[in-house]
Amino acid sequence: MFVIATFENSIYIELAITALEQQGISKELILAAPLDKRKELRGLFDTIHKSDGFSLFDGPSILGTCLMLLGAIYGYVLEWGPILWGIIGAVSGLLLGFLLKMLILRKNKRGSSKITSEIVLMVRCEDHKWEQVEKLLWDHFALGLTKI
């Protein structure tokens, strides 16, 4: 049976490997492989073939709709009328929402998360050692764990 776990790049991966060796699992049955990180930032715009679930236009469309509605309502008492004030509200809401979304994206560095799996640890063990290995890896702060 194979046990596959992911870890952050920290001292805990070394401690987990040492603890596995102390449990009687030889070095030849343990494989630790580091993952390469993405070098370029994620794209801002989704295509029809690729979508990452992060929408760039949801906030601007909501803000544009709200300001368009307010412009049309208050346009009855303003000089240019409700149609022009509705258009002005929609355009200004879209631009303001787009700028706010871009500022939020720039601050968050376009989807980079704080906890990432950087090392994959594969252990080949017997079926009767599965619970021992599972507990040991969870105790050493594994991010994810599976058995095959």
Both tokens assigned to 46: 């989704």
DSSP string, 90-135: HHHHHHHHHHHHHHHHHHHTTT--S----EEEEEE--GGGHHHHHH
Say which residue, 81 or 39, is predicted with more confidence. Answer: 81
What average pLDDT is seen over the chain?
A: 86
CB 118 within 8 A of CB 13: no
- pTM score: 0.57
Give the residue carrying structure tokens 């412009």.
71
Rounded CA-CA distance 3/25 in Å is: 12
Residue 51 has pLDDT above 90, yes or no: no
CA nearest neighbour of 6 among 118, 106, 111 = 118
Q: What is the mean pLDDT of residues 129-147?
A: 92
